[in-house]
Amino acid sequence: MNAVLANSIVVIAIVVSACYAVWRLGPRRMRDAVRARLSKALPRVFGSLIDSSSNGACDACGSGCTTTTTNAPPARREHAVFWRKKA
């Protein structure tokens, strides 16, 4: 019984790892299609997948933004470091 349980845990870990690798390394169009199908099939569970894929591009399409944004001052620029060869 312990061997069956241990082998099933290993198989599940390998399958999850393979699915993650295909998801991350696969084409973006495939990921977007899977997200769209999941959000249409199970909107309560996967309804926010498409909303979170905008990567913070709030109001990029002109439709408005659901969260409020603040105008933070720009970050300070760092000074460039130049490396020179010794003579």
Q: How many CA atoms lie within 13 A of 15 on its CB side?
A: 6
pLDDT, the chain, mean: 77
Q: How confident is the model at residue 53 (pLDDT cuts 50, 70, 90)?
A: very low
The whole-number average pLDDT for the span 19-40 is 87
Between residues 46 and 13, which one has the greater pLDDT? 13
Question: What pLDDT digit, counting tens, does each position of 18-28 carry?
Answer: 989 988 898 88
pLDDT of residue 36 exceeding 70, the answer is yes
Q: What is the CA radius of gyration of the chain?
A: 23
Q: What is the dihedral of CA 47, 49, 54, 56, to 10 degrees?
A: 90
3-state class (DSSP) for residue 81? coil
**Token pair for 75:** 């970050």
